[in-house]
């Protein structure tokens, strides 16, 4: 098959999977008012690979490295800087073309690429072969994946083995000749209800007495014992919103419950090798933070654009303190872009696999997350209180009050009141809405908390080298000849 159509992808989701949202079981997620949006958003990715335009198709479709058959380029294991840059380009181009990232194949391959690296380090041929066969399965059937890493974790101060019950972290409860049985739950998993395959990676380092928790595998979404419990989403545009003539794009997160789920051995990439759980979690995080920073760039570009536009609509774009804020906005975005490019430019090689530079990828994610709220504050400041209190589209359309809005809500005479209102509403979505609050939390937590990034920055930075230089500068140790 190699490349599926959007319709083939949607059809594949009607497979008996167990999905709940807002307390109700959903029989066909493609037709659900919230989950259908997730399916459409992901289907957008299949529109790109099926595109007739060569410049789009050539970016999103690559020849299979051995057979030359067309496959989704995200299924190309990165061996070079060029391969990593192509991942960034695909992510950023899909956001521009379909209005969102069809998130899933990226995180899924972040998990699988990490599993390849770690299987190589373990020297376990069977895991390497399992990962290779699974990748071929994804390539051949053009499957959508999700990456299930975050366990529910219970009491955060306690390790998996010390928790009040053993299921706060996903673990093995039984093994036999054919496979393993697993129990536990993964949480916040983006696009999970609309994935074909779930790829599991350990959420953290495991110790010797936690070998049952050192676990990585892949299973189809309709496997018996798997249940998805989804967050409620925003749904379609409401009549009250000014919006562009394009569909809402959204990806639903879910908690995935694994209730004594059987996993055949040929789908297992780690089972019990606790010494390598840290390397797997760490390598996944590096790949995935690189994915994250790639898709954050276009997200913050649009938000920065709202700041620039609101300054103009309000007639303030030449004012000193506003220009100062625009400089800070631009510096935030461009630092993120520069770090994203640098992480691809300077990869670390594990055998023939190119891993994005771990220090730079983590610095980039930390930069994005730690300064995001200040970035939003700048846009809020420039925009004025109207982004909190604006009348809506229904008011604009009501002839009783329309003329008041037209008369009083204009800004700079260069722009119409309607355009100002449209920009206010776009800005509102990014900085003063339920959606923007969701993104503020997502910024802090998704792809790991800031403490996790700082841990990796400390582990990867040449602290010893800094110290040696200071010791020489202070005359405590002699200068090296």
**Residues contributing to the site for ligand FAD (CB under 6 A):** 107, 147-150, 153, 156, 188-190, 253, 441-442, 445-449, 451
- Residues 49, 61: contact at Cβ < 8 Å? yes
Q: For ligand FAD, which is the closer residue by CB, 299 or 316?
A: 299
Q: For ligand FAD, which is the closer residue by CB, 13 or 292?
A: 292
Q: Cα 371 from chain centroid?
A: 18
CB of 157 to ligand FAD, least distance (A): 6
Q: Which residue is nearest to ligand FAD (CB)?
A: 149
Q: For ligand FAD, which is the closer residue by CB, 30 or 150?
A: 150
Q: For ligand FAD, which is the closer residue by CB, 289 or 420?
A: 289
CB of 396 to ligand FAD, least distance (A): 32
Quote the CA–CA distance of 277 and 269 in Å, as a whole number.
11
Q: For ligand FAD, which is the closer residue by CB, 22 or 323?
A: 22
Quote the CA–CA distance of 185 and 162 in Å, as a whole number.
17
CB of 196 to ligand FAD, least distance (A): 15
CB of 275 to ligand FAD, least distance (A): 20
CB of 204 to ligand FAD, least distance (A): 8
Q: Is 153 helix (H, G, I), strand (E, B) or coil?
A: coil
CB of 450 to ligand FAD, least distance (A): 7
Q: For ligand FAD, which is the closer residue by CB, 136 or 440?
A: 440
CA angle, residues 80, 84, 88, in degrees to nearest 5: 160
216, β-bridge pairs: 270
Residue burial 126-138, b: 16+ Cβ < 10 Å; e: rest: ebbebbeebbeeb
CB of 188 to ligand FAD, least distance (A): 4
Q: For ligand FAD, which is the closer residue by CB, 153 or 371?
A: 153
Q: How far is CA 342 from CA 91, 285, 406, 462, in A?
A: 16, 17, 48, 17
Contacts of 305 (CB under 8 A, 6+ apart): none
């Amino acid at each position: 098959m190699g490349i599926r159509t959007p319709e083939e992808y949607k059809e594949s989701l009607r497979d008996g999977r167990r999905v709940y949202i807002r307390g109700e079981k959903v029989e066909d997620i493609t037709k659900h008012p919230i989950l259908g949006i997730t399916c459409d958003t992901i289907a957008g990715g299949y529109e790109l690979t099926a595109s007739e335009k060569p410049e789009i198709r050539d970016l999103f479709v690559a020849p299979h490295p051995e057979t030359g058959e067309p496959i989704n380029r995200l299924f190309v294991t990165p061996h070079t800087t060029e391969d990593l840059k192509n991942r960034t380009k695909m992510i950023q181009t899909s956001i521009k073309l379909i209005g969102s990232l069809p998130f899933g194949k990226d995180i899924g391959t972040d998990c699988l690429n990490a599993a390849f690296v770690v299987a190589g380090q373990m020297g376990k041929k069977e895991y390497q072969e399992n990962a290779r066969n699974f990748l071929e399965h994804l390539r051949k059937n053009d499957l959508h994946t999700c990456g299930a890493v975050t366990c529910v974790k219970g009491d955060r101060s306690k390790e998996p083995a010390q928790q009040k019950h053993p299921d706060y972290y996903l673990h093995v409860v039984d093994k036999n000749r054919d496979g393993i049985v697993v129990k536990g739950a993964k949480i916040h998993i983006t696009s999970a209800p609309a994935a074909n395959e779930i790829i599991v990676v350990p959420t953290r380092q495991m110790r010797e007495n936690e070998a049952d928790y050192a676990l990585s595998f892949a299973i189809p979404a309709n496997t018996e014992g798997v249940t998805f419990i989804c967050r409620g989403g925003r749904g379609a545009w409401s009549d009250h919103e000014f919006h562009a003539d394009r569909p809402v794009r959204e990806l639903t997160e879910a908690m995935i419950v694994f209730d004594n789920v059987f996993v055949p051995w040929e789908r297992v990439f780690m089972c019990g090798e606790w010494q390598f759980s840290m390397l797997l979690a760490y390598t996944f995080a590096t790949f995935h933070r690189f994915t994250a920073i790639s898709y954050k760039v276009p997200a913050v570009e649009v938000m920065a654009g709202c700041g620039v536009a609101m300054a103009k609509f309000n007639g303030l774009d030449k004012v000193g303190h506003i220009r100062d804020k625009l400089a800070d906005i631009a510096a935030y975005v461009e630092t993120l872009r520069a770090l994203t490019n640098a992480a691809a430019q300077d990869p670390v090689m594990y055998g023939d696999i190119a891993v994005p530079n771990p220090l730079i990828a983590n610095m980039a994610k930390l930069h994005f997350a730690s300064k995001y709220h200040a970035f939003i504050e700048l846009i809020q400041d420039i925009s004025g209180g109207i982004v909190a209190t604006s009348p809506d589209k229904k008011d604009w359309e009501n002839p009783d009050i329309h003329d008041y809005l037209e008369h009083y809500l204009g800004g700079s005479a260069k722009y119409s009141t309607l355009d100002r209102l449209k920009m206010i509403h776009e800005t509102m979505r990014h900085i003063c809405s339920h959606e923007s609050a969701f993104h503020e939390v997502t910024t802090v937590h998704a792809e790991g908390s800031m403490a996790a990034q700082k841990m990796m920055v400390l582990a990867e930075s040449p602290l010893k080298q800094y110290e040696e230089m200071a010791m020489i500068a202070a005359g405590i140790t002699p200068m090296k000849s």
